[in-house]
């Protein structure tokens, strides 16, 4: 299996390479692709030194699966080119997520919709993935009406420039800023650009993407996305109103039995999900599970996940594993 990682030198790209090793992905040859400034750089894969090449060179390599994490602009231009020469593209950018002709996939939820004709497959937004991992099994049983979610997102979701800003501010160093304000000892209610309706693009992704993944527009989501000074891991406070009544014990049982979800919820021992414990792990962690006492049929919970792994790299690799397992390439 000839695999390309496009954006191999970026934060998500390097984790993708690591995961391909960890998960013993069936790679006969790996092609590492990056921007012109990174061409010629050397990276390790399974103990071998691999030189980074450019997109044009990679296009001629007869790639079978190309996993993109190089940004929307690159994906819009190059994903179709790779698909045209026979590659199945799994794209981690926002380029194709809401394209009606492309599948938006979280493998545990809707991988079964994929076919051999799907040559460009979209990876959802990091905050969306962890949200739907917990909501999907509950929606199936109780049918959601309305979801209110507030996110507390790591600077790593913005990229290396933001990580450097936080580290430099902690150390009292003046440097280039990824945000319009300091992030150290601060919280910015501002993830991605603002749209005309007053919401940010990140908030609208959270509103729209779950409906597409679940193929259901009968529920609505209202989101507020906040950037906080953590180095890795996104957290979400989630309030869900259902059409059907529920019992908390059954909620816990459903989530406990959901692949990829781990419950951490014991107030007696101060056990609840936190980014520091989700770091480096692939599961989505759920805790603070409790009934909303102000409104019927409504649940509160707290969801945490490593945004660079399950929120990006792991989900993409899982899609690749699925299409190989089902012989869709």
pLDDT, tens only, 73-96? 999 999 999 999 999 999 999 999
Burial class (CB in 10 A: 0-12, 13-18, 19+), 115: exposed
> What is the per-residue pLDDT for 190?
98
pLDDT, tens only, 39-69? 999 999 999 999 999 999 999 999 999 999 9
> Residue 6's pLDDT band (boundaries 50, 70, 90)?
very high
Q: Which of 126, 190, 191, 256 is catalytic?
A: 126
Q: What mean pLDDT is predicted for residues 148-173?
A: 97
> Residue 115's pLDDT band (boundaries 50, 70, 90)?
very high
pLDDT, tens only, 291-328? 999 999 999 999 999 999 999 999 999 999 999 999 99
Residue with tokens 């490593």: 306
> What is the per-residue pLDDT for 125?
98
Residue-wise burial string across 78-94, b where 16 or more C-beta atoms lie within 10 A, e elsewhere: bbeebeeeebbbbbbbb
Q: Which of 36-40, 63-67, 165-169 has the weakest average pLDDT?
A: 36-40
Structural contact between residues 156 and 163, judged by C-beta atoms closer than 8 angstroms: yes
Non-local CB neighbours of 60 within 8 Å, separated by 6+ positions? none
Helix (H) or strand (E) holding 121: strand 120-122
Helix (H) or strand (E) holding 88: strand 88-91
> What is the per-residue pLDDT for 225?
98
31: β partners: 4
pTM score: 0.97
> What is the per-residue pLDDT for 270?
98
% of the chain surpassing 70 pLDDT: 100
Helix (H) or strand (E) holding 204: helix 201-213
CA dist 62 to 3, 58, 87, Å? 9, 8, 7
- What structural domains and CATH numbers belong to the chain? 2-124+312-325 (3.40.50.720), 127-306 (3.30.360.10)
Closest CA to 296 of 233, 246, 253: 246
Q: Which of 139, 190, 191, 234 is catalytic?
A: 234
Rounded CA gap, 218 and 162, in Å?
37
Q: What mean pLDDT is predicted for residues 135-152?
A: 98
Q: Phi, psi (5° rounding) for residue 286?
A: -125, 135
> Residue 23's pLDDT band (boundaries 50, 70, 90)?
very high
**Is 191 part of the annotated catalytic residue set?**
no
Non-local CB neighbours of 177 within 8 Å, separated by 6+ positions? 165
Non-local CB neighbours of 214 within 8 Å, separated by 6+ positions? 109, 110, 132, 135, 136, 139
């Amino acid at each position: 299996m000839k695999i390309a990682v496009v954006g191999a030198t970026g934060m998500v790209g390097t984790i993708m390479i690591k995961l391909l090793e960890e998960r013993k992905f069936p790679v006969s040859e790996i092609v590492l692709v990056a921007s012109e400034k990174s061409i010629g750089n050397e990276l390790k894969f399974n103990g071998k030194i691999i030189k980074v090449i450019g997109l044009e060179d990679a296009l001629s390599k007869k790639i079978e699966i190309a996993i993109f994490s190089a940004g929307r602009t690159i994906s819009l231009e190059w994903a179709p080119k790779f698909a045209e020469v026979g590659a199945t593209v799994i794209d981690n950018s926002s380029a194709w997520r809401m394209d009606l002709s492309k599948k938006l996939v979280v493998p545990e939820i809707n991988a079964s919709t994929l076919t051999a004709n799907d040559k460009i497959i979209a990876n959802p937004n990091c905050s969306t993935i962890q949200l739907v991992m917990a909501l999907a099994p509950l929606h199936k049983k109780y049918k959601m009406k309305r979801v209110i979610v507030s996110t507390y997102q790591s600077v790593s979701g913005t990229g290396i420039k933001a990580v450097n800003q936080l580290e430099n501010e902690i150390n009292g160093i003046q440097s280039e800023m990824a945000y319009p304000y300091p992030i150290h000892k601060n919280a910015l209610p501002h993830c991605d650009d603002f749209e005309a309706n007053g919401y940010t693009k990140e908030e609208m992704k959270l509103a729209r993407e779950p409906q597409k993944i679940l193929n259901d527009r009968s529920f609505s989501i209202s989101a507020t996305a906040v950037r906080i000074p953590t180095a890795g891991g996104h957290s979400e406070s989630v309030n869900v109103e259902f059409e059907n009544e529920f019992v908390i014990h059954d909620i816990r049982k459903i989530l406990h039995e959901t692949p990829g979800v781990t419950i951490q919820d014991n107030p007696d021992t101060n056990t609840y999900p936190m980014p520091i414990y989700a770091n480096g792990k692939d599961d989505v962690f759920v805790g603070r599970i409790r009934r909303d006492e102000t409104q019927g049929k409504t649940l509160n919970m707290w969801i945490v996940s490593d945004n660079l792994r399950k929120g990006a790299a792991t989900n993409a690799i899982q899609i690749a594993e699925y299409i190989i397992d089902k012989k869709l390439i």
